[in-house]
Structure 1
Amino acid sequence: MEWTEFGDWAHRIADWTRDYRETVGDLPVRAQVRPGQILAALPDTPPEGPEAMDRIFADFEDIVMPGITHWQHPRFFAYFAANAAAPSVLAEFLVSAIAPNCLIWQTSPAGTEMETRVMDWLRQAIALPEGFSGVIQDSASTATLAAVLTMRERALDFTGNSGGLFGRVPLRVYCSAEVHTSIDRAIWISGIGSENLVRVPIAGANRGMDPQALRALIARDRAAGLAPAGIILCVGATGVGATDPVDEIMQIAAEEGLYTHVDAAWSGSAMICPEFRPMWAGVERADSIVFNPHKWLGANFDCSAHFVRAPEDLVRTLAIRPEYLKTHGADGIINYSEWSVPLGRRFRALKLWFLIRSYGLDGLRQVLRNHIAWTAALHDRLAAEPDFDIVTPPMWSLFSFRYVPAGADDLDALNQRLVDAINDDGRIYLTQTRVDGALVIRFQAGSFETTEADVMMALDVIREIAHGLTKG
C-alpha cells in the first residue's frame, strides 16, 4: 500500500470501528468457534506477491472477526474489562501513525514529559501524597516484577545484579494466597524462587492476610536464619476482590524494615472516588503501588500506572547506560526506560491525556460509581433467589455466587456446566474461580459500554440457563 491510498482506507476503517462499537452488543460476547477453526482458514504459506487491501480486509471480516471474544461488549462480565474508550482509541491511532519509540528523553521529549505530567495527574486523582513518582508500565505483571527486583536489591544492599544469588541466605517474600499469579512469576524471574514466597493465612470478611500470622511467619524465618525482604499486598485481587488490611501490614513492614508493593491492578481505578479510599487506608506508606487504567479507567491496553516512593532505588535496580543512550548537555532529564524492564517504550501517555481531558475526573467517577451500584443491585436480586448462594459479597463491582438447587450432588461440576452453558449461549460472559476449594461463579461489571439494563439482564440469563440445566 502507498501512502496515497492510506487516507481512503483510514476513513473506511474509522467508519467500520464506529459501526462495530455501536452494534457489538448484538453479537455473542464470547467467540463461538471451535479450536483450530481460525488456523484452518489461514493459508499454510505466506503470499509471494502483494495482495489487494480489499481482499485483506474482507478476510479480516470473514476469518478474524468470528474468532474474536468481544471485550468491549456491554455484557462482558468475565475477568476484568479491558476498556478502550473512544478518546483513547483516537490517541492510539495517532500513536500508531507517528510511531515513536520513547525509550529515552531525546528520542521523544513529548513522550517523556507528558508521561511525567499525566502520571502526576493520576497521583492526584487517587490522592497519593506528593512523595510518589509514577511511570507507565505495559502491565501490572511488569510493574510487580520491577518491584520484586527492587525489593531483592534493597535486601541485598544492591549487590544482587552484580553478584547473583548463589551462596546467599535465601530471601523471603510474603503475600496471601489470593494474590495474582504474576507475583509467582516475578518471584521466579527474580531468582528468589517459589519456595521462598511465603503464603500468609487469610482472615476476615475481605479475605485479607492475617497480620498476626504475618508477624509470626517473619519471626519464624528470622529465627531460621532466613532473610525477609518484602511484602506484596493485594487490594481487589482477581478471584473475588480479596483485600489485605493495608494499614496494619504497613505498620509491620515498617517495624521489620521490609519493602512493600501493593497490587491494586483492578480496584486502584476506584480510588479516584474518595468514598472508596478507606479500603486501602495506609497505602501512602507503601514503597510501590500499581493499578491498571487499561482495566477500569477506559485506556486501551496496555497502560499500567506504577508509583514508587523512591524512584532512585528503581533506577539503581534497572538502569543500564551505554554511551548510545546518553543525552549530553541536558541535565535533570528522566529516561523512563531506566524505570522499566523493556528498553523500547510506546507513547502510552497520550491516551491518558486524551481520556482524562475528554471525560474529566467527574465523568470517570460516574462510570465507576454506576458499575458498583448496579452490581450491588444485581447481588441483592440474586441473593433473594432460592437456588443461589452468595459466596463472597460485592467488592466494588465484583461478587461471586453458586448455584445450589436442592438434590444436586456434585455442585462443582454443576456450576462449571452452568458457566459453560451461559458462555455458549452468548448473551453474557462470566468466568469461574475457587473460594476455599469450592468452584464459584464471578460477576464483575466494568465495561464503559455497560448499562443498568445490561447488568439486570444477567439475572434473567443466569436464572433461565440454570433452571434449564436441572429441569431439562
Structure 2
Amino acid sequence: MDTETFRRHAHALVDWMADYMAGVEEYPVRASVAPGSIAAQLPEAPPEQGEPFEAIFKDFTDIVLPGMTHWQHPSFFAYFPANASPPSVLAEMLTSTLAAQCMLWQTSPAATEMEGRMMEWLARALDLPQDFRGSIQASASEATLSALLMARERATGDAANKEGLSSTGQRLAVYCSEDAHSSVEKGARVAGFGADMVRKIPVDENRAVRLDALEAAIRRDVAAGITPACVVACIGGTGTGGMDDVWAVSQIARSHGAFVHVDAAWAGSALILPEWRWMADGLELADSFVFNPHKWLLTNFDCSAHYVRDPEALMRTLSLVPEYLRTHGANGVTDYSNWSVPLGRRFRALKLWFVLRSYGLSGLQTLLRRHIELAKHAHDTLAAEPGFEITSPLKLALFTFRHRPEGLPEEELDAHNERLLTALNDTGKAYFTQTRLGGRYVIRFQVGQTNTETRHVNAALDLIRETARGFR
C-alpha cells in the first residue's frame, strides 16, 4: 500500500471511527455470538496473494464487529471501565504511525522524557508522596508482579535473582485481603513464592482487610520460620470496591519488615478529587503504588501508572543490560526498560499527554464526580425498590445488589440472580457482571464509561425492574 492509497483509506477509516463513536449506542453492548462462530468465518490458511483493502474492511464490519463487546457503550456497567476519549484515540493513531520501540532513551528520547514528566503530572494531580517515582506499565498486574519481585529481593538480600529462591532456603509469604485481585496470586506464582504462600486475609463488614487477622497470620508464619515478604493493600477491590486501611496495614507490615504494595487500579483515579484523598491516608508508608489511567481517566488501554519509593531497588531487581542495549554518550538518562519486566515499550505517555491537556484536571474531576453521582442515583433507586436488596454499599461508583422476591427460599437466590443477570445481558441493552459476596451470588453495578448520562442509568434501572418482574 503506497502512501496515497493509505491517505485515501485512512480518511475513510477516520470517518467510520467518528461515526462509530457517535452511534455506538446502536450496537448491543455485549457480543451475542456462539463460541467458535468468528473463527468459523476466518480461512484456515493465509491468502497467497494480497487482497484489496475494501474487501478486508468489509470483513471487519461483517465478521469482526458482531463479535465485539462495546466497552465504550454508555450502558456498559460491567467489570471496571476501560474508558477512552477522542484525544486519546488521536494520540494512539500518532503512536502507531511513529511505530517506535521506546525501550531506551536513545531509541526515542521524547518518549522517555515525556513519560517521566507525565508521571510527575499524575503524582501532583493525585497528591502522591513527594519521594515516589513512576513509570508506565501495561497493566496493574504487571506492576504488582514487579512489586512482588522487589519484595522477594528485599527479603532475600538480592539473592533470589542470582541464586534462585530455592537456594536461599527461605520460605516467603505474601498477604492480601480475600477481596484482592487475582493478579496477586498470579504474580506470586510467577515470582516463585507459590500459590500456597499467599495468605488471603478475611475482611470486615466494609470489605476492608481485618487488621487483627493480618497480624495473627504474620505472627503464625514468623513462628513457623516463614518470612513475611509482602503485604498488598487494596484501594477499591474488584468485587465490591472495598478499601483497606492503608496506614494501619502499612504499620503492621513495616513492623515485620515486609514490603508494602498498594493496588488502586480502579479507585486510584479518584484521588484527583480532594474529597476522596482520604482513601490513600498512609500511602507515605508504602513502598509501591499502582493505578490505571486506562480505567477511569479517559486514556485508552494500556496505560498503568506504577510508582515506587526506591527506583534503585526496582532497577536492581529488573535491570539486565547487555552491551547491545547500553546507551553510550548520554550519562544520567533514564531507560524505562529497566523499570519493567518486558524490554519493549510503547509510547504510552503520548496519549496521556493528549488527555491531560485536552480536558485539564477540572474536566476530569467533573467527569468522575458525575459518575459517582450517577452511581449513587442507581444505588438509592434500587435500595428503595421492593424485592431488591443492596448487598454491598456504594464505594465511589460501584455497588452490588440482588433480586430477592418475596417467598423465594434463600437456597434458590443464587440461581435466581444468575438467571436474572443472563437475561439482562442477553437483551444487549446493558451489560453487568457478577461477584460472590460471603458466598452469595450478587450483581455488580459500576458507572464509569466516558459518555454515560442519567438517561442510560435510568434505562438500566428500568431494564432491571422489568426483567426481574418476569422472574417473580
Same fold? TM cut 0.5: yes
Gaps in structure 2 of 5+ consecutive residues: none
Deviation at 1:114, TM superposition (A): 0.1
Deviation at 1:408, TM superposition (A): 2.0
Deviation at 1:204, TM superposition (A): 3.7
| Secondary structure of the structure 2 residue equivalent to 1:354 | helix
Counterpart position of 2:179: 178
Counterpart position of 1:230: 230
1:14 corresponds to which letter in structure 2?
V
CA distance in 2, matches of 1:438, 1:176: 18
Deviation at 1:377, TM superposition (A): 1.1
Q: Is the Cα–Cα contact under 8 Å of residues 129 and 283 in structure 2 kept in the other structure?
A: no
CA distance in 1, matches of 2:42, 2:385: 47
The answer on 1:48 being equivalent to 2:35 is: no
Of 411, 418, 421, the match for 2:420: 418
1:111-122 equivalence runs, <5 A: 111-122=111-122
Deviation at 1:77, TM superposition (A): 0.2
CA distance in 2, matches of 1:93, 1:413: 45
Deviations along 1:23-68, one digit per CA (max 9) or x if unpaired, are: 0012210112111111111112211101000111111101110111
Deviations along 1:205-236, one digit per CA (max 9) or x if unpaired, are: 2x111112211111111111111111011110
1:332-347 equivalence runs, <5 A: 332-347=332-347
Deviation at 1:252, TM superposition (A): 1.3
The answer on 1:35 being equivalent to 2:24 is: no
| Secondary structure of the structure 1 residue equivalent to 2:391 | strand
| Secondary structure of the structure 2 residue equivalent to 1:209 | coil
Counterpart position of 1:7: 7
Closer, same or farther: CA 406–204 of 1 in aligned 2, 3 Å: closer
CA distance in 1, matches of 2:471, 2:65: 30
1:155-170 equivalence runs, <5 A: 155-167=155-167, 168-170=169-171
Counterpart position of 1:460: 462
CA distance in 2, matches of 1:190, 1:129: 27
Q: Is the Cα–Cα contact under 8 Å of residues 101 and 108 in structure 2 kept in the other structure?
A: yes
CA distance in 2, matches of 1:408, 1:166: 54
Deviations along 1:175-211, one digit per CA (max 9) or x if unpaired, are: 1110011111100000001111111121142x11111
Counterpart position of 1:69: 69
Counterpart position of 1:450: 452
Q: Is the Cα–Cα contact under 8 Å of residues 75 and 431 in structure 2 kept in the other structure?
A: yes
CA distance in 1, matches of 2:75, 2:54: 32
The answer on 1:26 being equivalent to 2:23 is: no
Q: Between Structure 1 and Structure 2, how many residues are aligned?
A: 469
CA distance in 1, matches of 2:102, 2:192: 29
1:69 corresponds to which letter in structure 2?
T
**Which runs of 4 or more aligned residues in structure 1 lie more than 2 Å from their structure 2 counterparts after TM superposition?**
none
| Secondary structure of the structure 1 residue equivalent to 2:262 | strand
CA distance in 2, matches of 1:220, 1:423: 45
1:106-145 equivalence runs, <5 A: 106-145=106-145
Counterpart position of 2:328: 328
CA distance in 2, matches of 1:264, 1:179: 10
TM-score normalised to the size of structure 2? 0.98
1:372 corresponds to which letter in structure 2?
I
1:197 corresponds to which letter in structure 2?
V
| Secondary structure of the structure 1 residue equivalent to 2:175 | strand
Counterpart position of 2:190: 189
CA distance in 2, matches of 1:109, 1:325: 15
Gaps in structure 1 of 5+ consecutive residues: none
Greater CA drift, 449-458 or 354-363: 449-458
Counterpart position of 1:435: 437
1:223 corresponds to which letter in structure 2?
A
Greater CA drift, 1-10 or 72-81: 1-10
Deviation at 1:129, TM superposition (A): 2.1
1:20-419 equivalence runs, <5 A: 20-167=20-167, 168-205=169-206, 207-409=207-409, 410-419=412-421
Q: Is the Cα–Cα contact under 8 Å of residues 159 and 165 in structure 2 kept in the other structure?
A: no
Greater CA drift, 193-202 or 15-24: 193-202
CA distance in 1, matches of 2:330, 2:63: 51
Deviation at 1:285, TM superposition (A): 1.5
Q: CA RMSD in A?
A: 0.9
1:243 corresponds to which letter in structure 2?
M
Deviation at 1:452, TM superposition (A): 1.5
CA distance in 2, matches of 1:330, 1:46: 45
Q: Is the Cα–Cα contact under 8 Å of residues 139 and 292 in structure 2 kept in the other structure?
A: yes
| Secondary structure of the structure 1 residue equivalent to 2:330 | coil
Q: Percent identity?
A: 54
CA distance in 2, matches of 1:78, 1:201: 25
Deviation at 1:253, TM superposition (A): 1.9
CA distance in 2, matches of 1:468, 1:214: 45
CA distance in 1, matches of 2:135, 2:317: 15
